[in-house]
Amino acid sequence: MMWLLRRKAVFAAGIFHDFYKRRPMIALQRLLLVPLLAALSCGGALLAEAAHASPLIVVPPGNRSETQPPIPDASATRTRAFKTTYAEKYEKIVALLKREKKLVAHIKQVAAGYDIDPIHIVGALVGEHTYNVTAVGSVQTYYVKALSYSGLDFAFRYKGVPVQTFVQRPEFAACAEAKDSASLWNCRDKVWVDHFRGKTVDGVTYDAMTFQQAFFQPFFAGQTFGLGQISPLTALEVTDLVNKVSGYDRLTPDHPQAIYRDVMDPDRSIVYIAAIVRDAIDAYKEQGFDISGNPGITATLYNVGQPRQRAADLHAALAGGKGRKLPVENYYGWLVNDKLDELRSLLDSGS
């Protein structure tokens, strides 16, 4: 009987010892199993999300239309007023880029910093100086003009109200959630259109003009300045991007002279052109379109602005099965695509 009891005791002790010997391993297995199951679950969700995600639509190079879209009357009137032609203006800006080798080299350098093809910057310059202003004899002239604005005392106002004060109105409250300067000023632009443009609010009648026209042309009707013909509002939109990539101080309406310095100084102007193009490419990418390989489209957006709203509208039209499926160049972008081979050759002239 005693031997039987001892055998049972030994057996029980063995089970007890084996259980505690294996318990750390069991605990470890359980510890590893939990994150593994979570990872599998998360991975399944990601795969499901990827399966339902729309692929990025690559906008092919070239023009969508065989003939150039209509040129606005304002451009034609301006060209006639200076007794010139679009062809002559085009040749002038091309000639300037051929002469200014340092400028072309700067264009390449800046484009690399913003991870864009330098042809996008060339396209913006050519479009502006063909249809809006006529290129001057040399880049040095733009430096002189920049200095002429640096000492002026002016502010961005509409009907005596500074823009800094105006955007504190409750209608702009949602814009405070904007993540960057581009989103912030685009939001404010949209609020102006939705709540003020052409309306009477609190007894004040607001003209049927753009936010840019109302607040950001303190001198005369012309809204753009410098080599890149950049408006103060557009410079404010990309100031966060320029600060991040190029290290320039952020612009604010509180210091309008700094804004004019940046858009009128040729070297800085090229930086802002690159940022505007980069911002447009990113805005369209967020909506599922890759426009980085079509300089005519980026030139069009440089001309008309509001890339986020236009990209969102295109995405909505595509999702709803209505309208066009790709962005389309306007007269300005059409010229860039049409002259692309010649414009690319200009990039070979930079040192």
List, as one string, the DSSP characters of 178-245: -SSHHHHHHHHHHHIIIIITT-EETTEEPPSS-HHHHHS-SSSS---BTTTTB-HHHHHHTHHHHHHH
pLDDT of residue 54: 67
Judged against a pLDDT cut of 60, whether residue 38 lies above it is answered with no
Judged against a pLDDT cut of 60, whether residue 158 lies above it is answered with yes
Judged against a pLDDT cut of 70, whether residue 62 lies above it is answered with yes
| Positive or negative: CA dihedral 146, 269, 301, 189 | negative
If one compares 157 and 25, the residue with the highest pLDDT of the two is 157
> pLDDT per residue over 277-334, tens digit each?
999 999 999 999 999 999 999 999 999 999 999 999 999 999 888 767 899 999 999 9
The arithmetic mean of pLDDT across residues 181-198, rounded, is 97
The arithmetic mean of pLDDT across residues 174-190, rounded, is 96
> pLDDT per residue over 108-150, tens digit each?
999 999 999 999 999 999 999 999 877 665 566 665 565 566 5
Judged against a pLDDT cut of 50, whether residue 24 lies above it is answered with no
Count CB atoms within 10 A of the CB of residue 37.
10
Mean pLDDT of the chain: 83
**Which of the residue ranges 8-12, 72-76, 250-254, 258-262 would you say has the lowest mean pLDDT?**
8-12
**Which of the residue ranges 51-55, 107-111, 186-190, 300-304 would you say has the lowest mean pLDDT?**
51-55
pLDDT of residue 325: 86
pLDDT of residue 50: 37
Helix boundaries (H) for 82-132: 86-99, 101-113, 119-131
Taking each helix axis as running N to C, give the angle between helix 295-304 and helix 307-319, from 0 to 180 degrees, rounded to the nearest 10: 120
User: Within 13 Å and on the Cβ side, how many CA atoms surround 82?
Assistant: 16
pLDDT-derived band at 18 (thresholds 50, 70, 90) equals very low
pLDDT of residue 233: 95
Judged against a pLDDT cut of 90, whether residue 47 lies above it is answered with no
> pLDDT per residue over 84-113, tens digit each?
999 999 999 999 999 999 999 999 999 999
pLDDT of residue 9: 43
The arithmetic mean of pLDDT across residues 70-91, rounded, is 91
Token pair of 282 as six digits: 């990113």
If one compares 9 and 290, the residue with the highest pLDDT of the two is 290
pLDDT-derived band at 226 (thresholds 50, 70, 90) equals confident
Please give the share of the chain, as a percent, with pLDDT higher than 90. 64
